[in-house]
Amino acid sequence: MAMLISPDAGLDPRRPCAPSDSPSVSGAYAEALRTFLLKQGLAWPEPSRPVEAIPAHRVPGSTFVRVLDDARRNLGDPLVGLHFGIRAGAAGYGLMGVAAATATSLRDTIRHLHRFASLTSTLGDLSSTAQSGFVSLIWNPLPGVDTAVVEATLAGWVSFARHLVGASAEEIGVTFAHRPCATRQRYEQLLECRVEFDASTHSVSVPADLLEARPRLADGNLNAAIGNWLHECTAAVRPCPHRPTARRVALLLGTRIPLDTGDMNAAADALHVSTRTLQRRLSAESTSFRQLLDATRAHHAIVRLLRGRTPLMQVGVEVGFSEQSSLCRAFRRWTGCSPLSLRRQLGRVYHDVRR
């Protein structure tokens, strides 16, 4: 199998992925795969602590590809990617999943996928087409991406859409550009929809009139609040020639610059520029250090809160709020609601894998 980048030491959320332009997946998506495979009796080569300790952590794409490939051999399951994609839960998609799930229509859910899919994975590019009353969401994997990853991606979209709007089997169609790894009947049984192979694209199609369906977790206020700043979180994920300074700062936050201090002078020193020069460059890129810091803090705090494994006070300290009241005010600014209200609303569905 062609490797995307040079092999690495393994999937260990304690070791942040070195900043690079190499393909990667989010720590949350990798943690969902880890949880899924542990349920199948597969142990990781190295112990790892829960990834929510560092929500912005990225895992090299080659690791993710290799882990799925190894799982296919060890389990003797040619459809392991399909099985994982079907069971991947909301926590596996991190904040992109929150944005998609709380959209007020399936149309807006797809729009969020276009804007923020890179937060989950940069192993491929997303596009869409409309034809004959259907809208197709197309995934173009990078060279060297295994069929198991492709099948996990598309199965995740189908499962997520069905989970949100209850789309019936006859309303969804899936095409794969590769040949089947099992019988067509087995694919259609697992995906609960029609499936075609040897197609020109990897895609999921839904009827255009389904685009106005309202997801069961829709919340316009929460969705709008998150959408106002979530694009800042993508700065560290995919290189953008128009925002080089924003990306470098975003990569520093939470790694070399602790979120609890949020020291702009430290960022300027790390980039070997003056504070004033850093401010000017970020302004030219239509952002600021404060905006990038706030988005990174929000990302960290919301993921930690929804996973429900960390006391609220500790979450606050980690992102620079010594008083719980300050964190609550920040949460209202980030989401339009209190931390406990957000946890009550989404915490019950925020799992690595579905039961």
Domain ranges of the chain: 220-349
Give the bridge partners for 58, in sequence order: 26
- Let me know: does 79 contact 194? Beta carbons within 8 Å: no
- Helical pair 220-233 and 289-307, crossing angle rounded to 10 deg: 120
Helices 275-284 & 289-307 angle (0-180, nearest 10): 80
Residue 163 is predicted with a pLDDT of 84
**205: pLDDT confidence band, cut at 50, 70 and 90?**
very high
Query: Vertex 286, ends 285 and 289: CA angle to 5°?
Result: 85
Most confident among 10-19, 48-57, 100-109, 233-242 (mean pLDDT)? 100-109
- Residue 193's closest CA among 164, 139, 157? 157
Rounded-to-10 torsion of CA 92, 88, 334, 261: -10
Question: Quick one: which of 26, 95, 16, 34 has its CA closest to 352?
Answer: 34
Residue 123 is which amino acid? Answer: L
| Mean pLDDT of the chain, nearest integer | 88
DSSP labels for 111-166?
HHHHHHHHHHB-SEEEEEEEETTEEEEEEEEPTT--HHHHHHHHHHHHHHHHHHH-
What is the pLDDT at residue 224? 95
pLDDT band at 132 (very low <50, low <70, confident <90, very high): confident
pLDDT at 17: 44
Burial of 311 (0-12, 13-18, 19+ CB in 10 A): exposed
**Higher local confidence (pLDDT), 167 or 171:** 171
Confidence check: pLDDT of 337 > 60: yes
Q: Quick check: 191 and 84 in contact, CB under 8 A?
A: no
Task: Report the relative pairing of strands 173-175 and 194-196 from DSSP bridges.
Answer: parallel
Q: How confident is the model over 62-75, as a mean pLDDT?
A: 93
Q: pLDDT tens digits, residue range 140-170?
A: 999 989 999 999 999 999 998 888 887 665 6
Read off the pLDDT of each residue in 97-119 and give the average, rounded to a whole number: 93
pLDDT given for residue 169 in this prediction: 57
Q: What is the reported pLDDT for 255?
A: 81
Average pLDDT over residues 212-241: 91
As a whole number of angstroms, the distance between CA 42 and CA 35 comes to 10
Question: What single-letter amino acid sits at 93?
Answer: Y
Q: Report the 10 Å Cβ neighbour count for 256.
A: 12
State the residue for tokens 């009550």.
344
Fold of 220-349: Arc Repressor Mutant, subunit A (1.10.10)
pLDDT at 8 over 70: no
How confident is the model at residue 220, as a pLDDT? Answer: 95
Tokens at residue 73, please? 């051999």
Mean pLDDT of 11-32: 68
Other beta carbons within 10 angstroms of residue 296's beta carbon come to 26
Is the C-alpha dihedral spanning 304, 306, 309, 310 positive or negative?
Answer: positive
Q: Could you say which DSSP state residue 205 is in?
A: E
Mean pLDDT of 337-353: 90
- Mean pLDDT over residues 202-225, rounded? 93
Largest CA distance in the chain: 63
Q: Quick one: average pLDDT of 113-141?
A: 93
